[in-house]
Amino acid sequence: MTNSDESCAAPGEAPLAGLRVVEVSSFVAAPLGGLTLAHLGAEVIRVDPVGGGPDYTRWPVTASGASLYWTGLNKNKRSVTVDLRSAEGQQAVRDLVVSSGPDGGILLTNASYPWLDYDLLRQHRADVIALRITGTHDGGTAVDYTVNAGIGFPLTTGPENLAGPVNHVLPAWDVACGLYAATGILAAERHRRRTGQGRSITMALSDVALAVTGHLGFLSEPEVTGHFRPRIGNHLYGSLARDFRTASGDSILIVILTSRHFADLGRVTGLAETFSEVERAVGGDFSTDAGRYAHREVIAALLAPWFAAHGTAEAEKALAQSSVLWQRYRTFAEVAADPATAANPLMHRIDQPGVGLVTVPGMPLAQPGLPPVTPAPSLGEDTRDLLREINVSRSEQCAPREDS
């Protein structure tokens, strides 16, 4: 299929200029997918029921009740609200999906409305692309936290002596799902451009977890070796890495992935000779990841007093003069208040309606031509313009060309 916009495309444009995606969404995954496309220059139209979806007031919120979660995930989008229970509202959403030119006809959703089904959309636009996020592949319900409970991480995270699970705070599966969705839409759009064919894509949140967990070897390990990763606190499986507490009471993470890292760690802590003697004493091999991992407790026990005897600034200064991978643990509040955060070219200062001035991130894929970062729309702010546009386009479709 040829693209009528092709001749208008300018080299300095945003990478996804011209692309239009209708997002019927809520919570994290689908909105993050749409946000990712929007930050690369696509026009993304979020559709909500009148009054907002179930995520419209989700925490964190401001004192006046504006959701920092909703505004954060819907920057750079347009907003349409319609009565999703009415036949007219449903028709308007379908029209919005199918009527937007050769670079449109793309739906991203985590809703399961029968009236938004691919086969129905396809009757109105043969080359439509519809990506639907579901809970499980066989129609079950699931959210990030239940998926995480079911896949294995909570029983492997946290202190070794803990009996129960440790939930994650980052909804990592929603995040991965949203980014898979952005990839899936662009892959389908490439295919459509080359073949003229649209497609229906479904993605289960639980399949995202199963795929990533599998790719990383967490499932093949018990299957193939009969072993599985024990709960090892803050150690890194197969390497030497752990947190240490300084004399100032901070925690610093140390990650050793190479012999050079380890040699440098020995040098800056003055423990090089001790490491060698202990290596001989325990019959270990501290020159390999596996050898350092096997003796992680004894190495950590040698290191802990060094950190306990040094203030954070002193420890950081020593580590900075080495190849060792390290980082002081910080709180969200510290990150937000760090002048380096605001100074990062990723971050933008915007005036978010309902929130006020706030520092927000844009697109980590740094490149020329990215669009400016703009606030999330007010709910329904673009309803009139976009529905009028559809009606115009519909009346144009209805008016026989030969009459004009």
Q: How crowded is residue 148: how many other Cβ atoms within 10 Å of its Cβ?
A: 23
Q: Rule CB under 8 A: which of 169-228 touch a second copy?
A: 169-172, 175-177, 179-184, 186-191, 193-197, 199-204, 207-208, 210-225, 227-228
368-397 residues in contact with a second copy (CB under 8 A) are 368
141 binds a second copy (CB under 8 A): yes
- Residue 161 as a binder of a second copy (CB under 8 A): the answer is no
What is the per-residue binding string for a second copy in 252-291, x denoting contact by CB under 8 A? -x-x-xx------------------------------xx-
43-49 and 20-24 strand pairing: parallel
User: Minimum Å distance from CB 33 to a second copy?
Assistant: 9
Catalytic residues: 174
Q: How far apart are CA 158 and CA 239, in angstroms?
A: 17
* 114 touches a second copy (CB under 8 A): no
| Residues of this chain, 57-96, that bind a second copy according to CB under 8 A | 57-63, 67-69, 71-73, 75
Q: Please classify residue 239 by burial: count the beta carbons closer than 10 Å to its beta carbon, then call 0-12 exposed, 13-18 middle and 19+ buried.
A: middle
Residue numbers 226-245 binding a second copy by CB under 8 A: 227-229, 233-234, 236-239, 241, 243, 245
Residue 329 sits in the site that holds a second copy (CB under 8 A): yes
Does position 52 interact with a second copy (CB under 8 A)? The reply is: no
User: What binding mask, one character per residue, do residues 10-49 give for a second copy by CB under 8 A, x or -?
Assistant: xx-x-xxxxx--------x---x--xx---x---------
Cβ proximity of 383 and 82 under 8 Å: yes
Instruction: Kindly state the smallest distance separating residue 239's Cβ from a second copy, in Å.
Output: 8
DSSP states of 244-281 as a string? EE-TTS-EEEEEE-SHHHHHHHHHHHT-HHHHHHHHHH
Which residues inside 291-310 make contact with a second copy, applying CB under 8 A? 293
Write the DSSP symbol of residue 302.
H
Q: Does 339 bind a second copy (CB under 8 A)?
A: no
Under the binding rule (CB under 8 A), the answer on residue 151 touching a second copy is yes
User: Which residues does 5 contact at the CB level (< 8 Å), separation at least 6?
Assistant: 18, 101, 102, 103
Which run of H or of E encompasses 195? helix 172-195
Judged by phi (left if over 0) then psi (alpha if -120 to 50, else beta), residue 166 lies in beta
